[in-house]
């Protein structure tokens, strides 16, 4: 897709020869599609897609000078032949650049090819627009791509085919463009191909990246591989000769072949082992592919392993069983390393035809093998992407770290006490494992037994560990748990549990306060809470109740209050900031502040403490039994419940202009914990905008801070102006308005 700006015009073009070549390529595409037993309707759709693409790109050429239509046909060929996808994907591959590069619209696509094709083309177009090839790839772009991926995996499969063909033809671009595209491929596309189990594409992309980033290294290794090919082929033939005879004797239908390691993997070994090419001995692997029935695959694979080890001595430390425990990307195979008769170690891979196709084509093969676990594993992986996207913070860099950690990292395999297998990212802790089993077990986890040895909940796990989680009904999630768990699931569950615990404890505190007030002969009414919130410097009723529950507030201090007419009044409250109740009373004395009812008259009302509406908010009135009309924001958490259950008690309300008064509002600020940032915040609030703060609380954690500020503003315009000013402070990442009941 990136070549749309690289079109050139040739002075002399042999149109007849080009048309013959285009027809030849199109017929090759049709031959590759015939394996899918296409219906006449599907053939017509492919022809229509080809004609549409041909017309749309008729005046366009690639940097190489070739007609642009070569590219979509080649991508469609990869989609059909190498990814084994259906006719819908072939159609989308032919059309993948049409909307982006020409006047054809998505509506046109839907009219000709239907909604499914339109949706996939839309996804491909969005992905294309995500990348700015003049600057470095940004983490936010990565997230946008994944949002598209999580809708329809065919989008990314076609995009990978597109990228593969562009990498194959990268030689016609200038050097700086080659480096840019190759680096982007290594950063994003090759890892995605790996995670989707597309081994063949991943391997070729890695090799092509090396070819264009380090051409001398690539040429040197390719040349040496070619020079040693004859010797290597003879060794392979001698090695597999007795195996072929034995497999035939035992009635196996099997293909046995030598497969050279990729140039990129050889280069990585040379760097890792710090040795020259001549000292890399495992330049190839022997692959045994069995023609086996689905229910006999595991048995046949181990029988084949037995035959191999009858002829060659295995290295017991190099056995890998990915048939019993497939990799997260669906890869299944038995790997062993054996000693050849000439004294060389040789890697042997044993798999069935189905496993081999899934190993090469990854999740793209699950359309063919519906009974396999690949489809479910794909759904699981996409589900994990969605979970990460939904729980991700706005900071895209943090999100990218989470994503790579949870989805691109190596997996470890952990066993439960009953032998059930769980897959987790590397470096997961015992607590991550507990949450993987169930959130209740995670919440009550006090430790673990790993291989029968007692360890703390922060203990890092290793592949093969058998883990028994120890729990206690008295255990509850702690804030510091977030410092050592790494899975997105554990982090989100801990945060939910902490919030819920605070809510439950606040109910206990509310009851405790009610009993104390009863002793003072004071009713537990909301208008009494405002003085207490000011006096105890807490931002909300929930925080007040919670502090009372954990004894952070001593109710003996209520002696500083006195009771008057069944209401609580603070002796010291007179010198503090005005309460909401005072402000509301003051508002009633002013004409034109809030009007209520069908005739929108001025009526007595109270501002509901659950959402603290301020002028400018969309509001409604709710007729209560004992407290008259209460004003709620339309976005109040309780609004839906009130409107659905008691619609007859809802009355209209709207604000009219008034800026003499101040109303309580809450904002939450997240930022980098840096010297002077709190001072800068308070300066903007108090000095620049002359806003009175009622309370400010800040928590820091690993270089970041979360702050909650309760302040008095005139209206929503005043509040938004303040928030906008705060967002401009260096180090501030996020400023949002909050409801005080949160």
Q: What angle do CA 207, 210, 211 make, to 5 degrees?
A: 85
Task: Give the residue from 208, 186, 211, 177 showing the smallest Cα distance to 2.
Answer: 177
Work out the pLDDT band at 130, boundaries 50, 70, 90: very low
C-alpha span between 280 and 532 (Å, rounded)? 76
Domain 2-213 of CATH type 1.10.3210.10 = yes
Calculate Rg over the CA atoms of the chain: 34
**Residue 627 is among the residues annotated as catalytic for this protein:** no
Q: Locate the domains of the chain by residue range.
A: 2-213, 223-372, 498-575, 580-655, 663-738
Residues in CB range of 403: below 8 A, 6 or more apart: 142, 143, 146, 385, 388
Beta bridge mates, 300: none
Output 381 or 65, whichever has higher pLDDT.
65
Residues in the chain: 742
Residues in CB range of 521: below 8 A, 6 or more apart: 563, 566
Question: In this structure, what DSSP letter does residue 65 have?
Answer: S
3-state secondary structure of 132: coil
3-state secondary structure of 690: coil
β-pairing, 561-564 vs 467-471, is: unpaired
**Residue 101 is among the residues annotated as catalytic for this protein:** yes
Catalytic residue among 18, 21, 66, 100: 100
C-alpha span between 620 and 679 (Å, rounded)? 38
The alpha carbon torsion through 636, 639, 641, 644 (nearest 10 deg) reads -160
Report whether 76 contacts 25 (CB < 8 A): no
C-alpha span between 128 and 704 (Å, rounded)? 34
The per-residue pLDDT for range 629-688, each reduced to its tens digit, is: 788 876 676 765 565 455 556 776 766 655 455 677 888 888 887 777 778 887 887 776
C-alpha span between 364 and 161 (Å, rounded)? 12
Task: Give the residue from 639, 624, 627, 694 showing the smallest Cα distance to 663.
Answer: 694
Structure tokens at 502: 């605070």
In the numeric block, the tokens 């010291």 are attached to: 572
Asked if residue 191 has pLDDT above 80, the reply is no
Range ranked top by mean pLDDT from 4-8, 192-196, 341-345: 341-345
The per-residue pLDDT for range 89-126, each reduced to its tens digit, is: 888 888 888 887 777 788 888 888 888 888 888 877 76
C-alpha span between 462 and 414 (Å, rounded)? 8
The per-residue pLDDT for range 314-342, each reduced to its tens digit, is: 888 888 888 888 876 678 899 998 888 88
**pLDDT the model gives residue 523:** 67
Q: What angle do CA 43, 48, 49 make, to 5 degrees?
A: 100
A 10 A CB-CB count for 534 gives 20
| The CATH fold of domain 223-372 | Beta Polymerase; domain 2 (3.30.460)
Catalytic residue among 3, 82, 97, 101: 101
For range 37-63, the mean pLDDT: 84
Range ranked top by mean pLDDT from 35-39, 311-315, 578-582, 605-609: 311-315
Asked if residue 136 has pLDDT above 60, the reply is no
Asked if residue 137 has pLDDT above 50, the reply is no
Report whether 335 contacts 319 (CB < 8 A): yes
Sign of the torsion angle spanned by Cα atoms 211, 212, 214, 219: positive
The per-residue pLDDT for range 547-579, each reduced to its tens digit, is: 888 887 877 777 666 555 555 555 544 444 444
Report whether 381 contacts 407 (CB < 8 A): yes
- What is the pTM for the complete model shown? 0.53
- Which phi and psi angles does 83 have, rounded to 5°? -105, -10
C-alpha span between 43 and 51 (Å, rounded)? 12
Of the options 3.30.70.260, 3.40.50.300, 3.30.559.10, 3.30.750.210, the CATH number for the domain spanning 663-738: 3.30.70.260
Greatest distance between any 2 Cα atoms in the chain: 104
**pLDDT the model gives residue 138:** 41
Report whether 469 contacts 445 (CB < 8 A): yes
Beta bridge mates, 698: 707
A 10 A CB-CB count for 183 gives 15
């Amino acid at each position: 897709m990136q070549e749309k700006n690289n079109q050139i015009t040739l002075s002399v073009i042999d149109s007849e020869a080009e048309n013959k070549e285009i027809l030849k390529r199109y017929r090759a595409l049709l031959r590759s599609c015939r394996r899918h037993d296409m219906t006449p309707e599907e053939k017509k759709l492919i022809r229509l897609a080809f004609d549409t693409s041909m017309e749309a790109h008729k005046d366009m050429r690639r940097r190489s000078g070739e007609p642009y239509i070569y590219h979509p046909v080649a991508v469609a060929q990869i989609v059909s032949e190498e990814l084994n996808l259906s006719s819908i994907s072939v159609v989308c591959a032919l059309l993948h650049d049409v909307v982006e590069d020409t006047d054809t619209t998505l509506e046109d696509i839907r009219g000709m090819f239907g909604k499914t094709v339109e949706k996939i083309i839309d996804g491909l177009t969005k992905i294309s627009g995500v990348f700015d090839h003049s600057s470095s790839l940004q983490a936010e772009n990565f997230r946008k791509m994944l949002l598209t991926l999580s809708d329809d995996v065919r989008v990314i499969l076609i995009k990978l085919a597109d990228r593969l063909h562009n990498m194959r033809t990268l030689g016609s671009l200038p050097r700086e463009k080659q480096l840019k595209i190759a680096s982007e491929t290594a950063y994003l596309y090759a890892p995605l191909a790996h995670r989707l189990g597309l081994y063949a594409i991943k391997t070729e992309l890695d090799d092509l990246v090396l070819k264009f980033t380090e051409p001398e290294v690539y040429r040197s290794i390719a040349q040496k591989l070619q020079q040693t090919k004859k010797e290597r082929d003879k060794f392979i033939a001698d090695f597999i000769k007795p195996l072929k005879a034995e497999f035939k004797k035992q009635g196996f239908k099997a293909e046995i072949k030598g497969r050279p390691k990729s140039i990129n993997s050889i280069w990585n070994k040379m760097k890792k082992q710090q040795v020259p090419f001549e000292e890399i001995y495992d330049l190839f692997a022997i692959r045994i592919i069995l023609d086996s029935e689905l229910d006999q695959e595991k048995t046949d694979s181990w029988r084949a392993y037995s035959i191999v080890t009858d002829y060659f001595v295995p290295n017991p430390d190099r056995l890998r069983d990915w048939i019993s425990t497939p990799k997260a990307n669906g890869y299944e195979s038995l790997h062993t390393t054996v000693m050849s008769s000439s004294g060389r170690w040789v890697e042997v891979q044993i798999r069935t035809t189905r496993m081999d196709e899934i190993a090469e084509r990854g999740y793209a093969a699950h359309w063919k093998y519906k009974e396999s676990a690949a489809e479910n594993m794909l759904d699981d992986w996409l589900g994990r992407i969605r979970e990460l996207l939904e729980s991700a913070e706005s900071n895209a860099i943090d999100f990218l770290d989470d994503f790579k950690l949870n989805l691109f990292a190596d997996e470890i395999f952990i066993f439960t006490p009953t032998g059930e297998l769980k897959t987790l990212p590397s470096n997961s802790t015992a607590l991550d494992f507990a949450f993987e089993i169930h959130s209740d077990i995670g919440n009550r986890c006090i430790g673990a037994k790993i291989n029968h040895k007692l360890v703390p909940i922060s203990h890092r796990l290793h592949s093969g560990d058998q883990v028994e989680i120890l729990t206690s009904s008295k255990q509850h999630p702690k804030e510091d748990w977030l410092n050592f768990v790494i899975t997105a699931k554990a982090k989100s569950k801990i945060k939910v549990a902490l919030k819920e615990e605070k809510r439950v404890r606040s109910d206990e505190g509310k009851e405790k306060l009610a009993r104390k007030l009863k002793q003072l002969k004071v009713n537990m009414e909301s208008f009494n809470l405002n003085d207490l919130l000011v006096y105890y410097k807490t931002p909300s009723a929930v925080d007040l109740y919670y502090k009372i529950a954990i004894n952070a507030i001593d109710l003996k201090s209520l002696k500083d209050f006195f009771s008057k007419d069944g209401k609580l009044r603070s002796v010291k409250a007179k010198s503090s900031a005005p309460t909401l109740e005072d402000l509301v009373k003051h508002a009633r004395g002013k004409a034109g502040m809030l009007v209520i009812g069908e005739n929108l008259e001025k009526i007595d009302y109270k501002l509901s403490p659950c959402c603290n509406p301020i002028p400018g908010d969309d509001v409604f009135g709710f007729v209560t039994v004992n407290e008259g009309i209460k004003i709620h924001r339309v976005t109040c958490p309780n609004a839906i419940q009130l409107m659905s259950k008691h619609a007859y008690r809802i009355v209209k309300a709207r604000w009219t202009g008034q800026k003499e008064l101040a109303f309580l509002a809450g904002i939450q600020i997240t930022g980098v914990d840096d010297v002077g940032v709190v001072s800068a915040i308070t300066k903007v609030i108090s000095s620049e905008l002359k806003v009175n703060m009622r309370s400010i609380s800040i928590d820091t954690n690993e270089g970041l801070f979360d702050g909650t500020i309760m302040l008095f503003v005139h209206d929503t315009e005043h509040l938004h102006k303040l928030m906008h000013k705060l967002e401009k402070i260096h180090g501030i990442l996020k400023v949002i308005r909050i409801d005080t009941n949160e």
